[in-house]
Amino acid sequence: MISTPKRTAVHPLERRIILKHADDPTYDASIACYERHGGYAELRKAIGELTPEAICQEVMDSQVRGRGGAGFPAGMKWKFLDRKSGKPIYLICNADESEPGTFKDRQIIHKDPHQLIEGMMISAFAVQARQAFIYIREEMPHGAQILESAIEEARARGFVGENILGSGYSCDLVVHRGAAAYICGEETGLIESLEGKRAYPRIKPPYFPAALGLYMCPTVVNNVETLCNVKHIVAMGGKAYAEIGRPGNTGTRIWCLSGMVRNPGYYELENGRHTYGDLIHKMGGGLLEGRYLQAVIPGGSSAKVWRAGERFTGKLKNGEAFDWGIEDVPLDFDGPMAAGSMSGSGAVIVIDNTVDIVEVLANINAFYAHESCGQCTPCREGSLWMKKITTRMANGGARKEDADLLASIGDQIAGRTICAHGEACAWPTQSFVAKFRDKFEAKAEADPEALRTRAFRMV
Amino acid sequence: MPFELTEQTLAEIDRLIPRYPQKRSALMMILHAIQKEKGYLSLESQEWVAEKLELTPIQVREVVTFYPFYREHPIGKRLIRVCRTLSCALNGSYQICDHFKKEFDVELNAVSSDGRVTIEFAECLASCGTAPVAMVDDDLFENLDESKVKALCAEIRAATPATPVEREALAMEEPKQKN
Ligand SMILES: Cc1cc2nc3c(=O)[nH]c(=O)nc-3n(C[C@H](O)[C@H](O)[C@H](O)COP(=O)(O)O)c2cc1C
Ligand code: SF4
Ligand code: FES
């Protein structure tokens, strides 16, 4: 039996492209259903009518940015591939989906696996990959099975494997399962893991996947949602795709809303047309009865936190001045960036006034301390200290100097590590302490007994 | 007793290796296949894999000990993993975990005395929109509350025969968590 994540109603403000069929009760994961809805037409078009260079150009023109976290333009990433080396090129789909708060790739994999396979085979053809892989986290065993069966169906129809659609181009697609380590989401850690080793991220430079990736060969690593977009770029044409959203923030994005809201869930929205306020209040139904907003984490737990009531001011790239509250920040890549944080993996976590913000940070810190791969001293030791200090604070052992101590540890990690896990673990502590310093300092005055014996715990 | 695998697992392993350009890449998938059959990865099984892939035993063991999902010791018949990460914690996952522990009268990372379960905390299971969530073996259970946990535990008990565990065996080795 394969469990499907629950289907949810489509909100009228959504613009569904990637999740167009995901919540249609008559839609299923079979290739017959996919083809009935026009599936694999774009792969036929790509292989039958377009050259690899032309597809790469369409992706470039689309300005589509990576949906996995960093928001790097996919067309540019593909262009950086070292094609002169003569080594085989590999394509990897990052389906590790492990940034806390993120649950969008799960919907695609479970409900519309062929869309991912089609997006991947078009991408593989475009970069002329020798072989393609889907690295899926261990905690999605049914997802892995669904993909395996879907790939077999696609292989039988000539979309995957030898001599695809009679074109002479061959590319196999292999599902590889992780084993519950977050760091496998980091692309070079993922590559090491796929090589059968510990997921120790590699240092860049020199190990940019575009030149020295899997087996030291040029490699493209893209997120599930990014690769699905390629199908729609081929369908519409890159320039037409770029009309969706706003310049530099093209297409739609699947936002994952969770935490303390009435209607948590995933919402696919045209970039730049809506705000965090719309997501939390209109789509998310706002906060629970009688509660008010304390904080928002705008892009996965490593994104810098926003405190309710703070204002963001500055100038946009086009010179226009802005003065936003949290509710006004545009939902896209550049909006949260202008407001001092990031859209990251599209995971928005809402925190209301009823929880202890210090304990929220302690919970986040426990995650990063558990997930550090241990290669770099600042990340390995720092993440553990930050966890220990915030846990002690939440449990009634806070000291006056803790806020300064935490800030100084955070400041000594970011920028001093092999991979961005250093930033990912430092940013929460740095931003929580900076924005909620009063609450961190007040902790030393709190009644230790009451904290020790509290009923609701998050660490 | 020599280390043996079922025909089915052996066939699975032989199917996995040629999928990769380099044999070593098949390591994680082979470990999954063996852990699925045996429940854990003994040193003998690791040596067997090393030989199969022409690796040194430590090249296998460093992988087994790095990834939280691989285990070197047996656990309960069913594995319950409760998500403890932020969106679930905000929605009461620590309490949910306490309910599971109470149902089977067992601490985290140990085997219940009826041998039925091991309960662990998991990190974000990528289902935060339906928090709090937990996995029982391969299945995900969403929007948990006390009554759902009770019903789920009753199902587990009904489907899983008890095999009381010796007290000594209950004293588990150090859990793999680094901290
Ligand atoms: C610590 C860490 C964890 C990451 N986890 C994920 C992940 O779970 N999924 C993902 O797609 N990208 C993740 N990334 C980003 C990847 O390294 C990589 O940038 C991304 O997969 C590229 O795909 P994109 O350009 O399509 O976004 C992570 C990065 C870091 C530093
Ligand atoms: S920053 Fe952390 S996770 Fe990244 S390589 Fe260093 S120790 Fe490992
Ligand atoms: S926090 Fe529990 S599933 Fe994400």
Residue at A411: amino acid letter:
D
CA distance to A110, A164, A207, A359, A423, per residue, from A95 (Å):
12, 24, 21, 30, 21
CA atoms of A255 and A253, how far apart (whole Å) = 6
Confidence at residue B178, expressed as pLDDT on a 0 to 100 scale:
42
Confidence at residue A283, expressed as pLDDT on a 0 to 100 scale:
94
Confidence at residue A138, expressed as pLDDT on a 0 to 100 scale:
98
CB contact under 8 A, B26 and A196: yes
Question: Which residues of A fall within a CB distance of 8 Å from B27?
Answer: 196
Among protein residues, the one with the nearest Cα to ligand 1's atom 28 is A186
CA distance to A96, A116, A224, per residue, from A149 (Å):
19, 13, 17
Query: In this structure, what token pair is assigned to residue A438?
Result: 């009063």
CA atoms of A204 and A200, how far apart (whole Å) = 13
Q: Report CA(A118)–ligand 2 centroid distance (Å).
A: 33
Question: Which residues of B fall within a CB distance of 8 Å from A161?
Answer: none
Q: Which residues line ligand 2 (CB under 6 A)?
A: A 183, 201, 372-376, 379-380, 417-419, 421-422
CA atoms of A167 and B24, how far apart (whole Å) = 31
Q: Which residues line ligand 3 (CB under 6 A)?
A: A 100; B 83, 85-88, 124-128, 131, 133
Q: Who among A177, A196, A364 is closest to B25 (CB)? A: A196
Query: In this structure, what token pair is assigned to residue A172?
Result: 């196999």
Residue B55: closest CA among chain A residues belongs to which residue?
Answer: A196
Instruction: Report whether A396 contacts A457 (CB < 8 A).
Output: no
Say if residue A206 is preceded by a cis peptide, omega within 30 of 0.
yes
Note the helical H segments in A242-376. 276-277, 334-338, 357-371
A125 touches chain B (CB under 8 A): no
Q: What is the pLDDT of residues A274-319, one digit of tens each?
A: 999 999 999 999 999 999 999 999 999 999 999 999 999 999 888 8
Give the number of C-alpha atoms closer than 13 A to the C-alpha of residue A255, restricted to the C-beta side: 38
Instruction: Report whether A276 contacts A307 (CB < 8 A).
Output: no
Q: What is the pLDDT of residues A380-390, one digit of tens each?
A: 999 999 999 99
Residue A196: closest CA among chain B residues belongs to which residue?
Answer: B25
Query: Which stretches of chain B drop beneath a pLDDT of 50?
Result: 174, 178-179
Pocket test for ligand 3, best of B82, B95, B120, B133 (most atoms within 8 A of CB): B133
Pocket test for ligand 2, best of A198, A379, A412 (most atoms within 8 A of CB): A379
Confidence at residue A317, expressed as pLDDT on a 0 to 100 scale:
84
Pick from A191, A342, A242, A10: nearest CA to B28: A191
The owner of tokens 């449990």 is: A395
User: CA B26, B28, B33, B39: dihedral to nearest 10 degrees?
Assistant: 160
Pick from A440, A297, A298: nearest CA to A357: A440
User: CA B78, B79, B81, B82: dihedral to nearest 10 degrees?
Assistant: 40
A195 touches chain B (CB under 8 A): yes
**Distance to chain A for B33, nearest Cα, Å:** 11
Q: Who among B25, B29, B135 is closest to A139 (CB)? A: B135
User: Residues near A205 by Cβ (< 8 Å), separated by ≥ 6?
Assistant: none
Question: Which residues of A fall within a CB distance of 8 Å from B20?
Answer: 174
Among protein residues, the one with the nearest Cα to ligand 1's atom 1 is A421
In A203-251, where do the E strands start and end? Answer: 219-223, 245-246, 249-250
* Chain A residues 70-99 with CB within 8 Å of chain B: 88, 97-99
Question: Which residues of A fall within a CB distance of 8 Å from B72?
Answer: none
CA atoms of A279 and A336, how far apart (whole Å) = 14
Measure the N-to-C terminal CA separation of chain A; round to a whole number of Å. 34
Confidence at residue B164, expressed as pLDDT on a 0 to 100 scale:
86
CB contact under 8 A, B86 and A364: yes
Instruction: Report whether B82 contacts B119 (CB < 8 A).
Output: yes
Q: Give the A:B interface size as CB pairs under 8 Å.
A: 167
Question: Which residues of A fall within a CB distance of 8 Å from B177?
Answer: 370
Among protein residues, the one with the nearest Cα to ligand 1's atom 10 is A68
Query: Which stretches of chain A drop beneath a pLDDT of 50?
Result: 1-3
* Chain A residues 311-350 with CB within 8 Å of chain B: 347, 349
Confidence at residue A2, expressed as pLDDT on a 0 to 100 scale:
42
Average pLDDT score over chain A: 96
Instruction: Report whether A348 contacts A297 (CB < 8 A).
Output: yes
Instruction: Report whether B173 contacts B73 (CB < 8 A).
Output: yes
CB contact under 8 A, B87 and A349: yes
CB contact under 8 A, B179 and A355: no
A163: left (phi over 0), alpha (psi -120 to 50) or beta: left
Q: Report CA(B125)–ligand 3 centroid distance (Å).
A: 5
Backbone φ and ψ of A399, nearest 5°:
-120, 155
Residue A195: closest CA among chain B residues belongs to which residue?
Answer: B25
